[in-house]
Amino acid sequence: MAAGHPGFLSPTGVEIVFVLVGLVTLGAALVAVTTKQLVHAALWLVVALGGIAVEYLLLSAEFIAWVQVLIYVGSVVVLLLFGLMLTKAPIGRSPDADSGNRWVASAVSIVSAAALVTVVVDAFRTTWIDLDRRTGPGEGSTEVTGQALFRHWVLPFEALSVLLLAALVGAIVLSRRRTAADTANTANTANTANTANTDNTDNTAGTAGTADVTETAEAGETADARATDRAAGER
């Protein structure tokens, strides 16, 4: 460890707040993936993503923090909430929100988190960021991030932009195809229902007509029998 840097046993106020916010974020993420209420899961996801944004602010990465708030909290979560409202998702506890693969998912998430932490710690073991820097732009400031992004990472940035645009166009095309298929199914269902109603109406009319003819014939026979009886009586 380089001289002049505080050790892990003498944390600063920023580091203590960083750990506390990290614990709150971790708890919110766990509740978001374990709750059986979809709306509550979306709201806890807001808390988790907001906690990550606070962590970026504590690391003096204000640009990444505001991107986190605008894109994830302001767009993705709002999109999820609109999806829940438009699809008439259940408001209360939903038994379908649970899965039988919970233990497998837990094992995969723990292994993935351990691998990620190992890689990050090994890569930045001896790297220190001066959060109290007062002269010039900080390491995570908007100026430094923009310079690194548009000088050294401009090609991956543009490739990612094209990928997101292709995903957006694909989503629109798939939604239009699905809408057309739903419209055709609805029209077929309506035609089938109308045909069934017409058949039922014809059957009902035919039955009623047969019943009327039968009643008329029976009434005629009854009248003829009465007339015969009267003639016999007069004789």
pLDDT of residue 2: 44
Q: Please list, in sequence order, all residues whose beta carbon lies within 8 angstroms of the beta carbon of residue 69, skipping any fewer than 6 positions away.
A: 49, 50, 53
- Give the number of other CB atoms < 10 A from CB of residue 76: 14
pLDDT of residue 21: 93
Question: How crowded is the C-beta side of 167, counted as CA atoms within 13 Å?
Answer: 6
- Give the number of other CB atoms < 10 A from CB of residue 80: 16
The answer for 88, left when phi > 0, alpha when psi is -120 to 50, beta otherwise, is left
Decide which of 163 and 227 is more confident.
Answer: 163
Confidence of residue 81 (pLDDT cuts 50, 70, 90): confident
Q: What is the mean pLDDT of the chain?
A: 74
Q: How far is CA 217 from CA 204, 206, 207, 208, 230, in A?
A: 20, 16, 15, 14, 20
Tokens of 211: 């019943």
pLDDT in tens, 36-46: 787 888 889 89
Confidence of residue 24 (pLDDT cuts 50, 70, 90): very high
Using CA atoms in the order 65, 67, 73, 78, what is the torsion angle rounded to 10 degrees?
Answer: 170
Q: Is the pLDDT of residue 111 over 90?
A: yes
Decide which of 192 and 3 is more confident.
Answer: 192
Mapping DSSP to helix (H, G, I), strand (E, B) and coil, where does residue 22 land? helix
Decide which of 95 and 103 is more confident.
Answer: 103
Decide which of 230 and 72 is more confident.
Answer: 72
SS (H, E, C) 145-206: HHHHHHHCCHHHHHHHHHHHHHHHHHHHHHHHHHHHHHHHHHHHHHHHHHHHHHHHHHHHHH
Q: pTM for the whole thing? A: 0.56
φ/ψ of residue 87, rounded to 5? -90, 5
Q: Is the pLDDT of residue 166 over 80?
A: yes
In terms of residues, how long is the chain? 235
Q: How far apart are CA 23 and CA 29, in angstroms?
A: 10
Mapping DSSP to helix (H, G, I), strand (E, B) and coil, where does residue 136 land? coil
pLDDT of residue 97: 62
Most confident option among 29-33, 147-151, 173-177: 29-33
Angle (CA) 76-78-79 rounded to 5° is: 65
Q: Which of 62, 51, 64, 61 is nearest to 23 (CA)?
A: 51
